């Protein structure tokens, strides 16, 4: 039974209570304060790793990453030496499995403005979609249906700011403000014009600028703009709309130390180097590094992007740090996840427990798990490393192999350029019809859309990993059998400019 006429989900990408609480206390976020006054506020647990593709995809589908297959911007592929498929994750991984599509199939229209991982634009029968980040720069707003794009006003060339990641701090701020404002304007228009059961809008600027401006007044000023957008969205939605404000993860200071897990594995006898390696790099990798570092970033990027796809893929594998490792004689290798989260691929799964015990004994390890302890689903054995390690929050994952220090200090210039990174705890706020003041217990990102749909009476698939926050809302969820599923095996079109942007922001390895 529907409690609210409509549910509105607003995303502040990367928002966390350590940043938000002082702004609330100072009276700088009045619209958020009013929302909390009418409902609840709670921490929101992100995915492991706490990174945009994994978290927003799990939120959209109500599933854990072992079932979505998405743990990062690139797919993991444990059969490759690098452990990565060079293609980017995209809406092809979601299509056929999102709760948005589930609602649309039941005749409940949905609008999405800037939801991450929906490029190319996710088809949504009866609904409207403005594709979210990461997406390439386009002259016309990337939408579904495609004909909608030209009706949304300036985009691409109408954007007066440079591409994210290729600009000064002032230009980055202007770009973040522009996109957050456009997402809000478009979502407000749909809220006034349409009668969707579920509307969702995500503001990506709160994440992007936190990476660049942590502890700076300019970041707080951007949050004030986000609060203004929140007020406009709540006003446009009207009093009969249940509102959930959420983030995909939180933020905190960047690690000041770095652990080279492959060095630890090598020095502990778990890993062997290839005969042709030199200084912990393959000769091909060393040659590629020499060429790469001898060229300016833009020139190197243009050269790499012109390579045929198969040659690029070969170069990617040979330039990866793991190319120096002799996999035929190696028991375990590091798998890159994100910052303080790192995976370990183990040749003989029977040795996982012994390696897990050794890792847990290290002072720089916060927690460690087998993949089965955290995930389930069809991608468990192909895209999830055997072991998942959470490092101390002040420790990031390095990539060096062979001899050398296992733990090193992060160079000061890197901390200046990259002062903050993701934390696993984000925010959840709810208010409106059917929402009480009791905060949900152990709330996770996979619960959000299920809870929103329960508020408007949409029956949920019966195989969700997420749950409805019944302790916080008056609705009683109903369930139906999930229809045929797609996703997980598709590939989005490659876009060199998009990859350059992700590398510049530190989300992809620069090769």
What integer is the mean pLDDT of 141-145?
A: 95
The answer to whether 431 touches 45, Cβ cutoff 8 Å, is: no
- The C-alpha atoms of residue 343 and residue 338 are separated, in whole angstroms, by 9
Above 70 in pLDDT, residue 42? yes
What integer is the mean pLDDT of 291-318?
A: 60
Is residue 35 very low, low, confident or very high in pLDDT (cuts 50, 70, 90)? very high
**pLDDT of the residue at 293:** 47
Above 90 in pLDDT, residue 79? no
**pLDDT of the residue at 95:** 83
Residue of 252, 338, 250 lying closest to 53 (CA atoms): 338
| Cα 490 to the center of its chain, rounded Å | 18
Residues 83-113: pLDDT tens digits? 888 778 889 888 888 999 999 999 999 999 9
The residue extents of the domains of the chain are 6-80+90-253+420-504, 257-417
Transcribe 58-99 into DSSP letters: HHHHT--HHHH--SSSEEE-TTSTTSEEEEEP-GGGTTTT-H
**pLDDT of the residue at 277:** 52
Q: Look up residue 259 and give its two tokens.
A: 């652990």
- The C-alpha atoms of residue 22 and residue 26 are separated, in whole angstroms, by 6
Residue of 51, 49, 61 lying closest to 91 (CA atoms): 61
- The count of residues in the chain is 511
Above 70 in pLDDT, residue 416? yes
CA torsion through residues 111, 499, 177, 432, sign: positive
| Cα 173 to the center of its chain, rounded Å | 20
- The C-alpha atoms of residue 44 and residue 440 are separated, in whole angstroms, by 9
Contacts of 378 (CB under 8 A, 6+ apart): 66, 67, 69, 488
**pLDDT of the residue at 24:** 98
**pLDDT of the residue at 362:** 98
CA torsion through residues 407, 386, 450, 470, sign: negative
- The C-alpha atoms of residue 469 and residue 474 are separated, in whole angstroms, by 9
Transcribe 155-214 into DSSP letters: -GGG--SPPTTSS-HHHHHHHHHHHHHHHHHHHHHHHHH---SEEEEEETHHHHHHHHHT
- Look up tokens 């009969």; give the residue: 240
Among the listed ranges 234-238, 292-296, 332-336, 355-359, which one has the minimum average pLDDT value? 292-296
- The C-alpha atoms of residue 142 and residue 168 are separated, in whole angstroms, by 26
Burial 350-366 (b: 16+ CB within 10 A, else e): eebeebbeebeebebbe
The answer to whether 68 touches 488, Cβ cutoff 8 Å, is: yes
Query: SS3 for 277?
Result: coil
Is residue 28 very low, low, confident or very high in pLDDT (cuts 50, 70, 90)? very high
Given the DSSP bridges, would you call strands 143-144 and 198-203 parallel, antiparallel or unpaired? unpaired
Residues 352-399: pLDDT tens digits? 999 999 999 999 999 999 999 999 999 999 999 999 999 999 999 999
Q: Between 319 and 412, whose confidence is greater?
A: 412
Please give the model's pTM, rounded to 2 decimal places.
0.90
Q: Look up residue 190 and give its two tokens.
A: 């749909």
Question: In the 8-state DSSP scheme, what is residue 115?
Answer: E
**pLDDT of the residue at 78:** 87
Mean of the per-residue pLDDT values of the chain: 88
Is residue 491 very low, low, confident or very high in pLDDT (cuts 50, 70, 90)? very low
Q: Which CATH number fits domain 6-80+90-253+420-504: 3.40.720.10, 3.30.70.260, 3.30.1360.120, 3.30.1360.20?
A: 3.40.720.10
- The C-alpha atoms of residue 145 and residue 480 are separated, in whole angstroms, by 28
Is residue 204 very low, low, confident or very high in pLDDT (cuts 50, 70, 90)? very high
The reply to whether omega before 506 is within 30° of 0 (cis) is no
Highest mean pLDDT (candidates 171-175, 395-399, 496-500): 395-399
Contacts 24+ apart (CB under 8 A), 172-175: 172/208, 172/209, 172/212, 173/209, 173/213, 173/218, 173/222, 175/205
Above 80 in pLDDT, residue 167? no
Residues 436-478: pLDDT tens digits? 999 999 999 999 999 999 999 999 999 999 999 999 999 999 9
- The C-alpha atoms of residue 372 and residue 390 are separated, in whole angstroms, by 15
Q: How many CA within 13 A on the CB side of residue 400? A: 16
């Amino acid at each position: 039974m529907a409690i609210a006429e409509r549910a509105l989900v607003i995303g502040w990408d990367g928002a966390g209570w350590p940043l938000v609480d002082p702004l609330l206390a100072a009276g700088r976020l009045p619209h958020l304060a009013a929302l909390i006054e009418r409902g609840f506020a709670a921490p929101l647990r992100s995915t492991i790793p706490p990174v945009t593709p994994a978290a927003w995809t799990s939120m959209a589908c109500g599933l854990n990453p072992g079932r979505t297959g998405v743990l990062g911007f690139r797919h993991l592929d444990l059969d490759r030496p690098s452990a990565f498929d060079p293609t980017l994750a995209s809406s092809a991984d979601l299509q056929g499995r999102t709760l948005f599509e589930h609602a649309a199939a039941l005749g409940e229209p949905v609008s999405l403005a800037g939801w991450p991982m929906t490029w190319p634009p996710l088809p949504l029968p009866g609904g409207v979609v403005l594709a979210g980040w990461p997406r390439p720069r386009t002259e016309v707003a990337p939408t579904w249906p495609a004909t909608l794009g030209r009706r949304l006003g300036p985009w691409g060339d109408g954007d007066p700011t440079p591409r994210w990641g290729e600009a000064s701090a002032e230009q980055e701020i202007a770009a973040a403000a522009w996109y957050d404002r456009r997402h809000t304007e478009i979502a407000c228009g749909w809220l006034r014009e349409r009668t969707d059961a579920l509307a969702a809008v995500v503001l990506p600027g709160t994440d992007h600028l936190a990476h660049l401006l942590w502890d700076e007044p300019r970041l707080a000023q951007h949050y004030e703009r986000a609060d203004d957008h929140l007020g406009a969205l709540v006003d446009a939605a009207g009093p009969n709309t249940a509102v959930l404000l959420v983030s995909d993860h939180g933020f905190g200071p960047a690690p000041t130390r770095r652990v080279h897990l492959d060095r630890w594995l090598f020095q502990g006898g778990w890993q062997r180097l290839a005969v042709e390696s030199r200084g912990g790099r393959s000769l091909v990798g060393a040659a590629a590094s020499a060429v790469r570092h001898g060229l300016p970033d833009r020139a190197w990027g243009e050269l790499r992007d012109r390579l045929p796809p198969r040659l690029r893929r070969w170069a990617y594998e040979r330039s990866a740090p793991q190319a120096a490792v002799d996999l035929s004689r190696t028991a375990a290798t590091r798998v890159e996840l994100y910052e303080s989260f790192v995976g370990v691929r183990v040749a003989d799964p029977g040795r996982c427990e012994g390696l897990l015990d050794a890792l847990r004994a290290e002072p720089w390890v916060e927690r460690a798990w087998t993949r089965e302890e955290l995930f389930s689903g069809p991608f468990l054995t192909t895209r999830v490393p055997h072991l998942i390690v959470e490092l101390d929050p002040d420790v990031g994952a390095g990539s060096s192999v062979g001899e050398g220090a296992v733990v090193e200090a992060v160079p000061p210039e890197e901390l200046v350029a990259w002062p903050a990174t993701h934390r696993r705890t984000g925010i959840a706020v709810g208010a409106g019809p059917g929402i009480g003041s009791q905060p949900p217990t152990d709330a996770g990102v996979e619960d959000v859309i299920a809870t929103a749909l329960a508020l408007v009476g949409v029956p949920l698939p019966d195989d969700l990993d997420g749950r409805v926050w019944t302790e916080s809302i008056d609705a009683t969820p109903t369930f139906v059998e999930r229809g045929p599923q797609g996703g997980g095996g598709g590939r989005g079109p490659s876009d060199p400019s998009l990859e350059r942007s992700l590398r510049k922001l530190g989300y992809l390895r620069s090769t």
